Chains A and B, each alone.
Chain A
Amino acid sequence: GAGVSQSPSNKVTEKGKDVELRCDPISGHTALYWYRQSLGQGLEFLIYFQGNSAPDKSGLPSDRFSAERTGGSVSTLTIQRTQQEDSAVYLCASSLRLAGGPRSYNEQFFGPGTRLTVL
């Protein structure tokens, strides 16, 4: 089946403009994650959605960042009043609902990311 898809692949914007990044998870995956990968850095967790539960927004770096997930499927990450330090690759991942048990783990499947450049 299809993997995680993200759009646009690349986005160039001017400082101060708003941008929207889209993620389509794998069909049937109820968990969705956003990560940010800045130049020379590893991936930084931003936000987590699980079904209809309240999302974990603890990784969002400022109130200019927000995300929503409509109908438990597609997610949009919005960055308002973009700054140059927002330039990064934004990666989305999805997984099945987290299984129970102390040794459980659900593999996260990543999309190809959106490269955001703020001029």
Chain B
Amino acid sequence: AQTVTQSQPEMSVQEAETVTLSCTYDTSENNYYLFWYKQPPSRQMILVIRQEAYKQQNATENRFSVNFQKAAKSFSLKISDSQLGDTAMYFCAFIISGAGSYQLTFGKGTKLSVIP
């Protein structure tokens, strides 16, 4: 079974600063995807960034980037130039790739507050 662990229940960051959210996972699979989702108070889950396990290059999306360490099973999210709109719950998630796989496994989330 796959597990995803987020060890930081809450974090805060000053506006315009950089913050890193941690995530570790456990799996015996070799082909999988990792994700960071953002959930603002509206409850809408928004995909922030995706990493394919077979790609060594870390994914980036504008101010969001990841540090993917496959051997260590670590997948952290870095948010640069934090903005007030980044305040939300952030969930790390995992899915085995392939047509027969469809269950996302989520961590418990990190509540991020951006302070003006």
CA distance A31 to B102 in the complex (A): 9
CA distance A45 to B93 in the complex (A): 12
CA distance A43 to B101 in the complex (A): 17
A72 on the interface (CB 8 Å rule)?
Answer: no
B102 touches A112 (CB 8 A): no
B106 — which chain A residues lie within 8 A by C-beta?
42-44
- The size of the chain A interface, using a CB distance under 8 A, is 32
A62 — which chain B residues lie within 8 A by C-beta?
none
A42 touches B108 (CB 8 A): yes
Interface residues of A in 44-74 (CB under 8 A from B): 44-45, 48, 50, 56, 59
CA distance A108 to B47 in the complex (A): 9
B109 — which chain A residues lie within 8 A by C-beta?
41-42
CB closest chain-B residue, reference A43: B106
| CB proximity of B80 to chain A, nearest CB, Å | 24
B108 touches A40 (CB 8 A): yes
Cβ contact of A48, chosen from B6, B103, B107, cutoff 8 A: B103
Q: Mark B31-73, 1 if CB is under 8 A from A, else 0.
A: 1010000000011110100101010000000000000000000
A2 on the interface (CB 8 Å rule)?
Answer: no
A113 on the interface (CB 8 Å rule)?
Answer: yes
A110 touches B102 (CB 8 A): no
Interface residues of B in 59-111 (CB under 8 A from A): 91, 93, 95, 97-109
A35 — which chain B residues lie within 8 A by C-beta?
104
B102 touches A48 (CB 8 A): yes
CA distance A35 to B43 in the complex (A): 13
A110 touches B91 (CB 8 A): no
CB closest chain-B residue, reference A91: B45
Residue positions of A touching B, CB distance < 8 A: 31, 33, 35, 40-45, 48, 50, 56, 59, 89, 91, 93, 95, 98-105, 107-108, 110-113, 115
**Nearest 7 CB-CB pairings of A with B:** A42-B106, A110-B45, A43-B106, A113-B43, A42-B108, A98-B99, A45-B103
